[in-house]
Chains A and B, each alone.
Chain A
């Protein structure tokens, strides 16, 4: 196991609602990245947090927002849910350095929007 945990495991929401997903990083890691994986697709980068600040963002609208806490855990918030937001949401933790470091993925949260 990677030591990265996510909650909840599954979630069902309706269009227009808001959702918060949580991620607990692997011990010693200071960077969290979030990804959205739709069925049959590869994960798509949403954004990354380093030292509690957003440190890069993919092509996602502002209704996708996040937080990173002092203990390096993180939240992904999605407002005004749309049907296309139904996906597996993955977080990955790593130690940010100048050199490439391995990212460790959590098991994901499967979100269904009805």
Chain B
């Protein structure tokens, strides 16, 4: 059974940092691109970042470029999101999601999602 479990969320002050993790199981993690998607309270979905299976291709939303870093450790079946210079507008539930097609880097549809981890940026 495919499982994605996020962790690392919490309360952080503006300007602070946080590192999110996503532990994957039930599939060959190293074969799939992975993504981070967020949802601010009461708002819609917003794509944050994508990383290809071998980390060769990485993309970021303009809203997080230069502040967030996506990475993965295929040996540990884990996806990460290092978030620096956090702002109030980064407050959201952060989901990790698997790309649905192993030959597509991004855009094929995200077929498995984690339960999300809440990040709150507030003083």
- A and B associate in one complex: no
